Amino acid sequence: MAFKVSEHVTWVGKIDWELRKFHGEELSTHRGSSYNSYLIRDEKTVLVDTVWGPFAGEFVDNLKKEIDLTKIDFIIANHGETDHSGALPALLREIPGTPVYCTANAVKSLKGHYHGDWNFQTVKTGDRINLGATDLIFVEAPMLHWPDSMFCYLTGDNILFSNDAFGQHYATEYMFNDLADQDELYNEAIKYYSNILTPFSKLVEKKINEVVSLNLPVSMICPSHGIIWRKDPLQIVNKYLEWARGYQENQITIVYDTMWNGTRRMAEEIARGIKSADSEVAVKLFNSARSDRNDIITEIFKSKAILVGSSTINKGLLASVAGIMEVIKGLSFKNKKAAAFGAYGWSGESVKLLSAALADAGFAVPVEGIKELWNPDSEARENCFTFGRTFALSLANGKTG
Ligand code: FEO
């Protein structure tokens, strides 16, 4: 499959309908993904990025149907991660010596992955190559999301090739944003940002401002995953700016795991207490052992506050809660408040541990957590209700930190 994107650009990537896990088992991809590779044909012919290794043979075979491979003047590797560079070894076996343009850091990552002595040509921000009627301009984008990441921009067609930025893990035959299901597209775009780009939010804002200051007209944004933004392409740029600035909606997310339902009952009473104080706020509950971790992370990203609960086991946390806390810590959420809760039988360390972990992860933890013995009785449930109500009221009053 290949299709025309613009006067000079053809999409030659791979839609991966089957993908359900990415980054090993770390990231769920309920709607598959695509690895977008773009062929630019002007006086010079350039390939921007490739596809993931398992599809290398198919990719090279399809590319041969589109063009005589020896006509490719050079390849751009915007990023060394294997979902975009995985077909480079197979391609370079066909056309050895073809220059690979990339950042200095990408030389390290590509050599690190493939150990190939390829014809690397390093580029930096502002470097420009004439292709005939069009020019390519390079913009380094370190830590969006790897040190080697880069964007490139095609004049004439006014296309920003943004690699992972502005992408989504979303397989669809409608490869343009105006054709795609808008809810699915939005949900995949925010999930992608929440789970991958959150820790780099400051850099996102800085890089967007830097690209905007170049005053380049943008007719399309062509990321390396998901759909191409051709209708109002800057909408996703504006969303990224919004998401990068301590984003929150009027939502509180409750995440818990429970051994014998005591912590679940606490979660439900806390939720009732929150709603009694604020009927407008969205309250969402997730058992972390039974829900998709990346979907929970997306809900946390959208929240102004979270409550995390765990029963105490062996003086510690239940494994699913400990696991999601590790992810939460790495993502460095900003501008969010939190509190802990949990049921216990005799020692009850989980709430103290969770409160410390939430503070360590950058959440404001304005109130002491709540723990209840065994299966909460009516008095304990009332305590949880009051705890939820007080927490919500203090958020509304801005008294929590
Ligand atoms: Fe960072 Fe899509 O690879």
Half-sphere exposure of 84 (CA within 13 A, CB side): 31
pLDDT digits (tens, 9 = 90+) for 307-320: 999 999 999 999 99
**2 alpha carbon – ligand 1 mean position (Å):** 21
Nearest alpha-carbon partner for 101 in 56, 29, 155, 40: 40
Cα 142 to Cα 39, 78, 160, 399: the distances in Å are 24, 11, 16, 38
In this structure, the residue with its CA closest to atom 2 of ligand 1 is 164
Which of these is catalytic: 101, 225, 247, 299?
Answer: 225
What is the Cα–Cα distance from 66 to 89, expressed in whole angstroms?
19
Q: What is the CA radius of gyration of the chain?
A: 24
Of all atoms in ligand 1, which is nearest to the CA of residue 196?
1
CA 203 / ligand 1 centre spacing (Å): 17
Annotated catalytic residue 81:
yes
CA of 338 to the centre of ligand 1 (A): 31
Helix (H, G, I), strand (E, B) or coil at 313: strand
Closest CA to 59 of 93, 23, 90: 90
Which listed residue (8, 16, 84, 145) is catalytic? 145
* Nearest residue to 241 via CA among 277, 204, 268: 204
Ligand 1 midpoint to CA 9 (Å): 21
Distance 83 CA to ligand 1 centre (A): 6
Nearest CA to ligand 1 atom 1: 81
Q: Catalytic pick from 42, 49, 83, 299?
A: 83
CA distance 169 to 227: 9
Strands (E), 7-99: 9-11, 14-16, 21-22, 27-28, 33-35, 38-41, 45-48, 74-76
Cβ atoms of residues 258 and 371 within 8 Å: no
User: Helix, strand, coil proportions of the chain in percent (round to 5)?
Assistant: 40, 25, 40
Q: Would you state the pLDDT for residue 1?
A: 86
Two tokens at 96? 């050895």
pTM (2 decimals)? 0.96
Helix (H, G, I), strand (E, B) or coil at 294: helix
Q: How far is CA 108 from CA 120, 146, 161, 256, in A?
A: 10, 12, 21, 41
Tokens coding 141: 């984008």
Looking at 38, 101, 170, 192, which residue is catalytic? 192
DSSP-derived secondary structure letter, 199: G
267 Cα to the center of ligand 1, angstroms? 36
H helix count then E strand count, the chain: 12, 23
CA distance readout (Å), 73 to 48, 96, 99, 135, 329: 11, 12, 7, 14, 44
Indicate which atom in ligand 1 lies nearest the CA of residue 163: 2
Q: Kindly give the residue spans of alpha helices, DSSP state H, lying in 168-244.
A: 182-192, 201-213, 234-244
Indicate if 192 belongs to the active site.
yes
Cα 363 to middle of ligand 1, angstroms: 28
- Look at residues 328, 385, 314, 395 and name the one whose alpha carbon lies nearest to residue 359: 328
| Annotated catalytic residue, options 23, 292, 360, 382 | 23
**Does the annotation mark 23 as catalytic?**
yes
275 Cβ contact list (under 8 Å, min separation 6): 281, 283, 392
Task: Identify the segments of the chain with pLDDT beneath 70.
Answer: 397-401
- Residue 401: its pLDDT value, please? 38
Q: pLDDT value at position 398?
A: 59
Give phi and psi for 339, each to the nearest 5: -150, 165
Measured in angstroms, how far is the CA atom of residue 195 from the centroid of ligand 1? 12
Q: Tell me how far apart the alpha carbons of residues 28 and 386 are, in angstroms, rounded to a whole number.
A: 36
Rounded Cα distance, 218 and 212, in Å: 10
Q: At what angle do helices 319-331 and 350-360 cross, to 10 degrees?
A: 20
**What tokens does 393 get?**
């009221």
Active site residue 79: yes
ω before 145 within 30° of 0 (cis)? yes
Other Cβ atoms closer than 10 A to 384: 24
For strands 45-48 and 14-16, give the pairing: unpaired
Domains defined for the chain, CATH in brackets: 3-244 (3.60.15.10), 252-395 (3.40.50.360)
Is 164 in the active site? yes
Closest residue by CA, ligand 1 atom 3 = 81
Query: For ligand 1, which residues put their CB under 6 angstroms from it?
Result: 79, 81, 83-84, 145-146, 164, 224-225
